[in-house]
Amino acid sequence: MAKAIKKQALGRGLSALLKDPDNDIKSVADENADKVVGSIVELELDSIEVNPFQPRTHFDEESLHQLGASIKQLGVIQPITVRKTDFNKFQLVSGERRYRASKLIGLRTIPAYIRIANDQEALEMALVENIQRQDLDPIEIALSYRRLIEEIGLTQEQLSGRIGKKRSTIANYMRLLKLDPIIQTGMRDGFISMGHGRALVNIDDRSDQIELYEQLVSNNWSVREVEQAVQRFQQGGQATAQKAHRSASKEIPGYAKAYLDDLKRYLDADVTFSSGGSAKGKINIPFTSEEDFRRLKKLITGV
């Protein structure tokens, strides 16, 4: 118990040191930098900004409230990691869920590890640390890989060494970015698995990808069934795909065609309709982000 109290007191002392303008720490060579870097410090939440390099863009509200309830009861068990950007200013490197949940429940401070890094190092730290998380979806991982390669300038071989993944694994994730955005969204939302996506990516034309995607979702195909469908498509060739598109368009009943353009204009989205025969059908409304989803929800429900 005495050890824990001493650790908390140290954190408070370092917090005061960071607010001393005469001893502002700007690099690892500055006086007292060794006391701050790598130590757990209680930082004011208002002094921390969200990391613009954060590869994760979606944070489930319900999950944040659950984490907030846990923090309210047990405290922040694992400190966040930040980098110092200016006098008493910090930027998140990792731990954005803990940061958001803490703000949600009205905390004023949060325990943090402090790093001193430039923008490129901060980007690499954020991306590499996020890749190691267990709850990222395949598209988030693929986007992180692409950013490390394009913005940090790593080759797939170098990236393999940095994160401890086989080069073939990295390549398989990055191929998923060739899928149509509608299919990528379906994977992020859990409608299909990475295995389904790896099968669909073998089809080059995105409209053909979507056609098979709609079939697999409607029929709840297994990965093996999707692979077989892709093989049949490839054997049938482009003429088969064009015939299927013409056939599908003929099946759309007149009442749906009459109002499809109205829906597109009202929702400002590329709304599509597929017929299941008779008077049955399905309306597909794609969205590009959480903000876009909320916009569509408000237009449809009025709240």
Q: Which residues are catalytic?
A: 96
Give, in order, the Cα–Cα distances in Å from 50 to each of 4, 55, 74, 89. Answer: 29, 12, 24, 11
**Residues β-bridged to residue 40:** 113
Other CB atoms closer than 10 Å to residue 286's CB: what's the count? Answer: 19
The H or E element containing residue 82 is strand 80-86
The H or E element containing residue 201 is none
Task: Give the three-class secondary structure for 157.
Answer: helix
Within 8 A by CB and 6+ apart from 187, the residues are 137, 138, 139, 176, 179, 193, 194, 196, 197
- Compute the C-alpha angle 107/111/114, nearest 5°: 135
What's the one-letter identity of residue 151? E
CB 177 within 8 A of CB 186: no
d(CA 252, CA 266): 20
d(CA 269, CA 264): 5
